[in-house]
Amino acid sequence: MVREDLGLTGSKKGCGIGDCGACTMLVNGVATFSCMMLAIQADGCVVETVESLAENGKLNKLQQSFVDLGAIQCGYCTPGMLMTATELLRRNPHPSEKEIRLALSGNLCRCTGYQKIVDAIKAVAGE
């Protein structure tokens, strides 16, 4: 529904059954696999997607860190990774590497080996 009716195609579909995390959005601030959710369940909730991260055309710190540290290859997992990391950093602004890896464990990435994604989140968390 978000992709087709609202035209917000930033969130991706890698599996449609809750296995990959590519579709992660924040629903009332909680990282959620949107493929597992009916639009009606989100009725009245605040939904945040990757499109909402940059403000006035300026990347936020986390996005900038992904760009600068090379946390992106094909980019298909990136929107989901960013949303999961956003939730983590709101909850826990200074996570350890372990906590970062734990938070990301539902988001699959086949390109990066996760190293640069973890580095990019760490760089923001360490500030």
Partner 1 sequence: MSKNNSYKILNTRLPRVDAIDKVTGKAIYTDDMSFPGMLYGAILHSPLAHARILNIDTSRAERLPGVKAVVTYKEAGTQPYGVSPARYDETIFCHDKVRYIGDEIAAVAAVDKDTALEAVSFIKVDFEELPVLLDGRHAMDEGQPQLHDMYKNNICARVNWNFGDIEKGRKESHIIRTDHITSKMQDAAFMEPQSVVAEVDSHGNLTMWSSTQAPHYIQRTLAMALNMPLHKVRVIKPAVGGGFGPKASCSTVELATCLLALKTGKPVKTTLDREQVFLHSRARHQFFHTMTTGVKKDGTLSFLEHHCILDGGAYASFGIATVYYAGSLLGGPYRLKNMKYDGYRVVTNKPACGAQRGHGAVIARAAFEVQLDRIAEELGMDPIELRLKNVMEAGETTCNELFVSSFGMKEALEAVRDSAAWKKKRSLAGKTRGTGKGIGAACGFFVSGAGYPIYRSKTYHCTVVTKVDEVGGGVTVSSGAADIGQGSDTVLAMITAEELGLPLDDVRVVSGDSNLSVDLGAYSSRTTLMTGHACKDAARDIKRQILEVIGGKLNIPPEKLDLKDGRVVGIDKDIDFSALREEYLQEHKGFMDLPEGPQLTFREASRIAFLEIGSVVGTGSYRPPKLGGSFKGATVGTSPAFGCSAQVAEVSVDLETGEVTVDNITGAHDCGFAINRTQVEGQMQGSMMMGMGEALMEQIIYNDKGRIMNANLAEYKIPTSLDVPHLDAIIVESNEPHGPYGAKEVGEGAIMPVIPSILNAIYDATGVRIDELPVTPERIIEALKKKRENK
Q: Single out the residue of 1, 6, 15, 36 in contact with partner 1 (rule: CB under 8 A).
A: 15
Burial of 43 (0-12, 13-18, 19+ CB in 10 A): exposed
DSSP string, 8-60: -TTS--S-SSSSS-TTEEEETTEEEEGGGS-GGGGTTS-EE-GGGTSBTTB--
**Is residue 78 near partner 1 by the rule CB under 8 A?**
yes
Smallest gap from residue 29 Cβ to partner 1 (A): 19
Contact region for partner 1 (CB under 8 A) — 2-10, 26-34, 39-47, 86-94? 2-10
**Is the separation of the CB atoms in 110 and 124 below 8 Å?**
no
- Residue 44 or residue 58: which is nearer to partner 1 going by CB? 58
Smallest gap from residue 108 Cβ to partner 1 (A): 6
Question: What is the distance, to the nearest Å, from the Cα of residue 18 to the centroid of all Cα atoms in its chain?
Answer: 14
Residues that bind partner 1 (CB under 8 A): 3-4, 8-17, 19-20, 22, 49-51, 53-54, 59, 63, 66-70, 72-79, 82, 100-102, 104-118
